[in-house]
Amino acid sequence: REIADLIEKMYGSHYSPAQVSNISKQMIPKVEAYHKRKLSDKFFCVYLDATYLPLRRETFQREAVYIAIGIKPNGHKEVIDYCIAPSENIEVWT
């Protein structure tokens, strides 16, 4: 319901909770393919960072969202990958 409300506020389109759920289910294979895609072979620089966002799973907690951003020699930035984990630690960074 929160996602449906957010979409309506941002884009003026209303989606029912069932529609949002169906869209989310359709996105899972696309997200998995994104994580497994072949990366560019050259990055001039790579930035690694994590930030904490409130996420609702079993409880409503803040979880770390890790992100790797690469900068190519032409200056183009690319999100290399991201990961969501309960806390920041070396195993997740690996």
- Encode the chain (94 residues) as per-residue pLDDT tens digits: 778 888 888 888 888 888 888 988 999 999 999 999 998 778 999 999 988 888 776 666 788 889 999 999 999 999 999 988 877 778 877 7
User: Which class for 81: exposed (0-12), middle (13-18), buried (19 or more C-beta within 10 A)?
Assistant: middle
Q: Which residues pair with 67 in a beta bridge?
A: 49, 82
Contact 80, 93 (CB under 8 A): no
Residues 54, 42: Cα–Cα separation, whole Å:
34
Tokens coding 55? 């996420």
Domain identity same for 75 and 60: yes
pLDDT score recorded for residue 59: 65
pLDDT score recorded for residue 61: 76
User: For residue 47, what are the CA distances in angstroms to 6, 43, 54, 69?
Assistant: 30, 10, 23, 5
Domain identity same for 19 and 32: yes
Domain identity same for 56 and 68: yes
Domain identity same for 24 and 50: no
pTM above threshold 0.85: no
Domain identity same for 32 and 72: no
Domain identity same for 8 and 44: no
